[in-house]
Each structure stands twice: as structure tokens, then as C-alpha cells.
A and B are shown apart, each in its own frame.
Chain A
């Protein structure tokens, strides 16, 4: 198993959380992982990016043209990071329509902002996009059940937060 993912969005959207959740999912499945996170000033509302490599890798960074998938938590960051995708790569994004630059590239959309507001949980966009991504069979190294198990493990003892997280993830899964 070797997979390289790029996650992008705006500071404060919970990119770090999703990256770590996927990394923990990978560890639970017995795969080695490397990630690279964004901290500090860039985290303050600007565009942030994180990298996740599952399998036998040495470095935490994904090179342009090498990513198997790109998850974008805000539609406007999709064009900025499309160059990370390899030929035949896949994207999922929080948007109502596909931007022109992404036409012809294999991808899915979800209006995560609206779904999050329906759930009365503006923080849930990250898990909604993740749910939408894993709903596409074979695009991620793991299944929806694997991610739900990792969520349960991570949020042990925080039942209310877990219920909210599962609701968001499933909203994306079924969108």
C-alpha cells in the first residue's frame, strides 16, 4: 500500500484534525505514515496545506504531480493545489460548482458549508468533505468503517463530540 494525499483549505477549518484522523486510521490498519502540518502565522485564516503519505516513504512532503488525491475544504483552494495531483488523480472539494481549471479532472463536489449549517455545526466541514471522499470506492486507502473506528478511538469518553463528528461524516458519506 502506498498512497499520497494533499489536504488544503483555510486556517481554522480543521485540516490538522482530518490529517491526523487519517493518519491514525492508517496506523490502525498497520501502515506506516508520515504527515506534514502547517502551524504559526499561516494558520490565521490564510490558505493552509497538509500532506499525508501512507506506506513506505522517507519524507513527509508530497511532490507536485505525485498526489493520488486532493481534499479541499474550501472550493477556492482547489485551483491553488491541483498541481499536486498525478495524472489520473482524484479530488473532492467543498463547492457548489467545479472551477474551470478542474474540468476534465476526476473529482466530486459537496456543498459542505450548507450541510454544516443544516447540522448547526459550522466546524463540521472537514468531516463532511472526508465523508464525501471516502464514499467514492477505492479512492482512499481505507473504508468509511475504518475512519469511523478511528473517530471512536480518538473521541473515547467524549460521547457528544463523537455523535456530532459521526453525524457530519455520515452527512458527507450520503451527500
Chain B
């Protein structure tokens, strides 16, 4: 039975979007993982395998590389996609801007997933602003089903105007699930056929000016493209007030209008293509209505395209918050206020409490951080983007900016202090996937500029935080594994040692050695190698859970400074106990306890 003959399936938004791309002839896909976009490429791999479609699908080393590979496929006439999160699009922005000018041959879809909230991101930036900057159209799906539908529209739009198209789902689309029926996968039977055209593909600045004029014309035409026109959901209504919404916010508006009994009294438009906003639509809405409320996430992209400002309510007018997720309860309050009807009472929300995110029990990063704090207690600790950012709980992360910045920041700290003849211990941490992504160029720079610091590469041989996507260290069936140690040595680092952080005394000694080398010689690199506990594909040693002996003094070093969630302080006994529900048996706490009260089960 073909997959498409199956009954309705529960699909995550990312799986639905991936399905839409594969159904519509996408044959090259490249991505770098980042929440909430991470499952898009794995879903493409899944659909490819299930439908046996000849494709190239890759986890690229970073977003810029991913975009360049997919865009090149489009230059050969194939349909291609690249997927990333909003922060990843910053990394890929360089080729994106150029791709907009040069245009496409085969349909090219850039998926940039936004994270209003933000739930798992450094920023709440709105990728639609990046689409405006690049001057490419962007589509705003409202649900998993809509994301699948817009994948098809995006390819058609891209080929109709020869322009890259951005598809911008948000967390509430990516990580929503919905029941959907699969459609058959189309075989477009295209083969790569690159037409050399130096005037276009290698256009010099003078030609780029011409291309810019052409791009502006394309945008004007796209603002009249019927398949992406806004939808009026209740055309029978003739009201002086209208609500305009896009993305998942449109689905909140729909439910709110139903619940407040406003469906027949307030005009409701859903914008599918926030940029460029359809010219005729904005003219008609401004003509038909006196007051227009615009609800969108995160920036007022639609709002700013309505030229008659005095009729428009939104973020710029102060009617809608300019930061944070527009939750359905917020939408309800704003819509009720706009319509002049009472909103439902807001229930009392509990005082914030509960547990903050923390490294998993038994996570090797916790041991690495503990060793670093022990070996260089007064150090400066730049870090980076990944699970290990949670090392901030242990006091072992002082800064993080963006992918790869741990290494440049370590160098920046060194140069800044050196000017005043000060030489603090500097110990930077970076994950293995992040090192491959953006850690290598700053390492080269640090060596060339004579910076001195310790770089600890936390190597769990996976991209843990986003769901254990592979890194270049694994290689692929047709490729070869790329070893971190060889890169480090190849750059010219003279101190490069590998250790297991779960051997706490041994690893602490290594960090001390590296710190000493960094002061006398230059950059020292330590590779802290131990598998991720969440990654079931890697073997791990089964070790017995420890027990806490009677001599525990209740000093709480293990719960507070080592911060293992599997160790719990019992107020009633004044001692620590092991939570056997979650303890992984890593055994590092045996070395952490200052009085030797935590022992292995055999000894206990």
C-alpha cells in the first residue's frame, strides 16, 4: 500500500511542511539543526526513505553552507530547499541577499522558523524582516496543514517569478501536530542542467544594479499574484472594523471571534504573504474599513505596509505588544477591546515556580564544567550555543552570544586584559557541532593573533539540544568522518589532548595542565569526549547507581555546586539522597562529595 493511501496520520508541523516539499518535487535539501526547525530535515529524510525518491539530503556544517548547496541545486534547475531557525538565517544571510538578485531556475524555498516567546532562542527576531531586506516574498503558515499547502505554493511562486521564496513557520506551527492525509509524491523527472550564463551567475556590480531593478519589478508583480492573496474568512460581514492576522495568530483570531460571538460582526482577513503585501488588498481594506486591527508575530511587518496610518491599530500604534508571543488569551483581550465587548475573565495564574532547565542527570558536560571550576576557580568562562549553555547554572558560563563566539570571545578577553598586563585564566567551552559550525575560523584567528586561552571542546559526538542530529565526525555512508583533533592540530595548536570528563580527577588534572600551557605558550585545546545520554545511538557503560552513606554531612556541595538533579537534599534527615527514578549512575558525584559519603552500591 502506498503511503498516500493510508488513513489520516498525526503529523508534526515540521513533518507536514517536509511532506509538502517532497510531494512537490523537492530533490535537494540541506539544513543545520536549530529549535524549532530541527525536525524538518529529518522528516524529509523519512519521506525520502518511505517513498524511495532519489534526493540529496544533508545536515550541512552550518546554515550558510546549507543555503549555498540548496541554492546551487536550484541554479541547475532542480527544486531545492534549505531549513534553519531565525538565528541560523543570520549566518546564511550573505548568500541569501545575493540569491535574491541572481534569482532561481528551479524552485528554491528558504524555510526560516521563528520562535516568538522565545522558547529556545537568543532572539525573537522576525525572519520576515530579513525577507524584506533581501526583497524576497515570504509566506506565513497558520497550522501544520497550512504549512504543507504553502510548500506547494512556495515552489510555484518561486518558479513563476524566478525568485527565492521564504516560508516562515513559527514554533506554534513547527511543534504543533495535526491529523493529515498524505498526497502522492510528484516525480517532476528533472535532471540537473546548469546553463552557463556569466552575465547572470557572475554578474559584476554594474549588472547587479540591473538585477536590483528587475527584482523590484518582480516584487511589484508578486504583490498581485492571486495564489498568495489574503483570504477574507467572513465575506458576508459589512463592518467598519476589520481584523487582519497572519500565521498561527490567525487561528487564534478565528477561535476568538467564534467564542466572543463576533464572527458575523467583525471582518476577518488572513494574510498568507506578509511581504510583499498585496497592493489591491491593502487599498480595499483601507477603503472599506475605518479601523483595522493587525495581529501578527513578532514585528509589525504587515502593519507597516498599510500606508494610511491613522486607520491602523497594531504594534506601532501601541495596541499590540511588540515583544513576546501573542498568546490566544492576549489575542482575545485585544480583539474584545477592539470590538467593544467584554473578554472572558482571566484566571489567577500561580506564582512562577517550578524547576528551571538543567543538564540531564549524568550529562558529561556537568563534569567538564565542575573540573573547569576546580582547575581555574577565578577564571573567565566564555561559552556558546547548545545544551551546555545551561552550564550557567553551575557558574561555569559567563558569556554566550551566538554560534562560535566562545572562541572569538576567549581571544577578545585575552587581548583586552593583555593591554593592561593582566593574565586571568580563560577557559572557553564549545560543543562539537558548534565547533564545526563556526568555531574553526576564530581558532585560526586566535592562533594567528597570538591569543592565549584554553578551549574545551565538549564532544558528545552529536547535536544534542536539537534532537541528536549527526555531526561531521560521524561521516555519511558516502563520505568520510572528519576528526576534531585533526582540525585542531592542523590549525597548528600545539597542546591538544583528549580526556573523559566522567573521570573527574583525571580530567581536572588535564584542565590544570592546559591552563598552565595557555599562560606560557598559547592556545590549549582539550577535547572532553563522552557520549550524550539522550543519544540512544551511542553505546554507554551501565554503571550502578550510587548510595549515600550515613556520614553525609548535608553540606550540599553535590546538590548546589554540582547541581545534579538526581541528588536531592532531604530536609527531614539533613542528608542527601539519590533519586533512583532519574540517576544514570555516572558516578561523578563519588568524586564530588568532599567527605566521601557517596559510594558505589557494591562498596555501600
Contact = CB atoms under 8 A, between A and B. Distances in A.
B581 A116 contact: yes
A42 B328 contact: no
Given A40-B35, A80-B350, A46 B356 contact: yes
B543 to A, nearest CB: 16
Interface string B243-273: 0000010011011000000000000000000
Contacts of A59: 143, 172, 248, 251-252, 254-255, 328
26 contacts: A10-B355, A12-B360, A24-B10, A26-B179, A33-B177, A33-B179, A34-B143, A36-B175, A40-B119, A42-B119, A42-B357, A44-B360, A45-B358, A47-B354, A58-B254, A59-B143, A59-B248, A60-B251, A64-B347, A65-B346, A76-B355, A79-B350, A80-B352, A80-B353, A80-B354, A83-B347
B359 A44 contact: yes
B214 interface: no
Interface string B153-183: 0000000000000000000100111110000
Range for the number of chain B residues in contact with chain A: 35 or more
Given A34-B177, A82-B350, A11 B328 contact: no
Given A12-B582, A61-B327, A41 B120 contact: yes
Interface in B343-397: 344-350, 352-361, 387, 389-390
A58 B353 contact: no
Contacts of B332: 63
Nearest to A32: B179
Nearest to A23: B10
A77 B354 CA distance: 7
A27 B349 contact: no
A140 B603 CA distance: 49
A97 interface: no
A101 interface: yes
A17 interface: no
Contact of B176 (A24, A34, A47, A65): A34
The 5 closest A-B pairs by CB, nearest first: A40-B120, A40-B35, A46-B357, A60-B176, A59-B251
Contacts of B10: 20, 23-24, 27, 33, 35
Nearest to B389: A41
Interface of B: 7-10, 12, 35-36, 38, 119-120, 142-143, 172, 175-179, 248, 251-252, 254-255, 327-329, 332, 344-350, 352-361, 387, 389-390, 465-467, 565, 580-582
Contacts of A19: 177
A29 B361 CA distance: 39
Interface in A114-142: 116-117, 122, 125
A109 B495 CA distance: 57
B357 A58 contact: no
Nearest to A33: B179
Contacts of B172: 36, 59-61
Contacts of B467: 39
Contact of A63 (B328, B352, B354): B328
Contacts of A32: 178-179
Interface in A1-58: 10-12, 19-20, 23-24, 26-27, 32-47, 57-58
A10 B142 CA distance: 28
A3 to B, nearest CB: 15
Nearest to A31: B179
B353, B354, B356, B358 — which one has the most chain A CB atoms within 10 A of its CB?
A: B354
Interface string A65-101: 1000000000011011111110000000000000001
A41 B344 contact: no
Interface residues of A, number: 48
A58 B251 contact: yes
Contacts of A84: 347
Contacts of A37: 12, 175-177
Contact of B387 (A23, A27, A41): A41
A135 B561 CA distance: 43
A157 B396 CA distance: 45
Give the secondary structure class of B's interface.
loop
A42 B360 contact: no
B61 to A, nearest CB: 21
Nearest to B386: A41
B358 A46 contact: yes
B466 A40 contact: yes
Nearest to B327: A61
Given A36-B176, A65-B346, A44 B251 contact: no
A175 B254 CA distance: 41
Contacts of B390: 41, 44
B581 A39 contact: no
Given A57-B255, A64-B349, A39 B328 contact: no
B120 A39 contact: yes
B345 A65 contact: yes
Contact of A39 (B35, B348, B350): B35
Contacts of A64: 329, 346-347, 349
Nearest to B115: A40
Contacts of B9: 27
A168 to B, nearest CB: 14
Contacts of B387: 41, 44
A60 B252 CA distance: 9
Contacts of B12: 37
A80 B254 CA distance: 28
B565 A39 contact: no
A60 B350 CA distance: 22
A108 to B, nearest CB: 20
Contacts of A57: 255
A11 B357 contact: yes
Given A36-B176, A83-B347, 15 more contacts: A23-B10, A39-B36, A42-B120, A44-B357, A45-B361, A47-B354, A61-B327, A61-B328, A63-B332, A63-B344, A64-B349, A65-B347, A77-B354, A81-B350, A122-B581
B581 A117 contact: yes
A33 B328 contact: no
B255 A83 contact: no
A113 B580 CA distance: 10
B9, B177, B349, B350 — which one has the most chain A CB atoms within 10 A of its CB?
A: B177
A64 B329 CA distance: 7
A26, A43, A77 — which one has the most chain B CB atoms within 10 A of its CB?
A: A43
Contact of A46 (B176, B178, B355, B582): B355
